[in-house]
């Protein structure tokens, strides 16, 4: 089911303009660089971050308003950062596929994937600079936070004593920061009053955190066909997410058994056993409750906005994120 954000009357046309801007932004005199930089753009995607920027920009309008060109370009810059980070993530993870197509690193090698990812980040920064110094500084700081979040996750790999605070710090860097920036850029470029800009930022931050928690739950519960990667991939990589940490925090026999399995690479029977323990000992519903709490905070942050179709869609979009989680 599509996010309610995507059902706003003008959203389809506005995202179509973002799509065109994404494609044209990476066209260069070098045909090979254009091909590599366009690879994941052409593979498609949900474009949730651009949609967030566009919806926030429209949040004070009572009617159906087409996004300005500056809003479209702000949304484009955010998606370029997201895409550039995916190029780099796939190198780190040695991923073979992304969005049902061959990953850039698998097709052209790590060096070209890294350079193409850098190119996408550079194009994002170029667009942001055209929108003013505050937007440019914000996007640059966000790229830094993405790096900090990823480093934090790498540093804690296979660490069974990883804390929930460590988890949230990493999530806020690697995922939530870009959601917050998408919302903030939409508000800034649309010229919203400063209290609305700050409220939109809080909404994006909490939405991004909920998004990552839900993603981490699905990594442990969804099928390989649904995920597009093996179930429990994070456990295999030594990335212990909130459902795992909550299971480990219980004073129980199951928690001890899980702790004995972790701290090293596991696969096969051991991985299946670890997945079974996490699924049946409170970690999944506990993480689901945490995601819902983040959504509640996101929705509350929007109380300072007027009652408009875009604000209703932003609230519904947040609720939609957790609607399929088990109670």
Residue 28 lies in a domain: yes
pLDDT of residue 87 exceeding 80: yes
Residue 5 lies in a domain: no
Residue 122 lies in a domain: yes
Largest CA distance in the chain: 62
Using one digit for the tens of pLDDT, what is the confidence trace for 226-269? Answer: 776 778 989 999 999 999 999 999 989 999 999 999 999 999 99
Among 70-79, 155-164, 179-188, 218-227, the range scoring the smallest mean pLDDT is 218-227
Supply 56's token pair.
Answer: 């926030």
**What CATH number is associated with residue 265?**
1.10.600.10
Among 16-20, 96-100, 158-162, 181-185, the range scoring the smallest mean pLDDT is 96-100
pLDDT band at residue 97, thresholds of 50, 70 and 90?
confident
pLDDT band at residue 100, thresholds of 50, 70 and 90?
confident
User: Residue 291 burial by CB count (10 A; 0-12/13-18/19+): exposed, middle or buried?
Assistant: buried
Residue 53 lies in a domain: yes
- Confirm if 58 and 306 have CB atoms less than 8 A apart: no
- Confirm if 14 and 67 have CB atoms less than 8 A apart: yes
Supply 96's token pair.
Answer: 């073979």
State the average pLDDT over residues 257-286: 95
Residue 326 lies in a domain: no
Q: What span, in angstroms and rounded, lies between the C-alpha atoms of 54 and 183?
A: 8
What Å distances lie between residue 298 and 64, 141, 143, 181, 197, CA to CA? 23, 22, 22, 14, 14
Residue 26 lies in a domain: yes
Using one digit for the tens of pLDDT, what is the confidence trace for 55-85? Answer: 999 999 987 889 999 999 999 999 999 999 9
Residue 280 lies in a domain: yes
pLDDT of amino acid 79: 98
pLDDT band at residue 324, thresholds of 50, 70 and 90?
confident
User: Which value, in Å, is the radius of gyration of the alpha carbons in the chain?
Assistant: 20
Residue closest to 5 by CA, chosen among 57, 75, 55, 78: 55
pLDDT of residue 1 exceeding 60: no
Among 44-53, 96-105, 301-310, the range scoring the smallest mean pLDDT is 96-105
pLDDT of amino acid 6: 83
Q: Evaluate the CA torsion angle 217, 242, 172, 25 in order and state its sign.
A: negative
State the average pLDDT over residues 287-313: 97
| Cα 182 → chain centroid | 11
pLDDT band at residue 327, thresholds of 50, 70 and 90?
low
pTM of the entire predicted model: 0.95
Total domains in the chain come to 1
pLDDT of amino acid 223: 80
What's the domain range around 148? 11-312
């Amino acid at each position: 089911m599509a996010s309610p954000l995507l059902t706003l009357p003008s959203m389809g046309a506005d995202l179509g303009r973002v799509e065109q801007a994404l494609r044209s932004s990476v066209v260069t005199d070098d045909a090979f660089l254009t091909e590599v930089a366009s690879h994941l753009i052409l593979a498609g995607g949900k474009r949730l971050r651009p949609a967030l920027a566009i919806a926030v920009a429209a949040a004070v309008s009572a009617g159906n308003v087409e996004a300005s060109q500056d809003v479209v370009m702000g949304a484009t810059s955010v998606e370029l950062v997201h895409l550039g980070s995916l190029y780099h993530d796939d190198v780190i993870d040695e991923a073979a596929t992304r969005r049902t197509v061959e990953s850039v690193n698998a097709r052209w090698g790590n060096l070209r994937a890294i350079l193409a990812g850098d190119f996408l980040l550079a194009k994002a920064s170029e667009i942001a600079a055209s929108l003013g110094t505050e937007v440019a500084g914000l996007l640059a700081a966000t790229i830094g936070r993405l790096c900090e979040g990823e480093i934090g996750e790498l540093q804690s790999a296979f660490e069974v004593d990883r804390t929930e605070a460590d988890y949230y710090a990493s999530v806020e860097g690697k995922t939530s920061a870009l959601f917050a920036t998408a919302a903030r850029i939409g508000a800034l470029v649309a010229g919203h009053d400063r209290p609305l800009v700050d409220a939109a930022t809080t909404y994006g931050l909490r939405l991004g955190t909920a998004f990552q928690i839900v993603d981490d739950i699905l990594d442990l519960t969804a099928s390989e066909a649904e995920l597009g990667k093996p179930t429990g991939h994070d456990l295999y990589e030594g990335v212990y997410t909130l459902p795992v940490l909550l299971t480990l925090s219980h004073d129980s026999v199951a928690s001890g058994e899980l702790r004995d399995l972790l701290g090293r690479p596991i696969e096969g029977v051991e991985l299946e056993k670890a997945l079974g323990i996490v699924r049946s000992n409170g970690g999944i519903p506990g993480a689901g409750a945490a995601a819902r709490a983040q959504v509640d905070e996101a929705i509350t942050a929007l109380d300072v906005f007027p009652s408009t179709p875009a604000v209703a869609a932003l609230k519904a979009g947040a609720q939609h994120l957790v609607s399929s989680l088990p109670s």
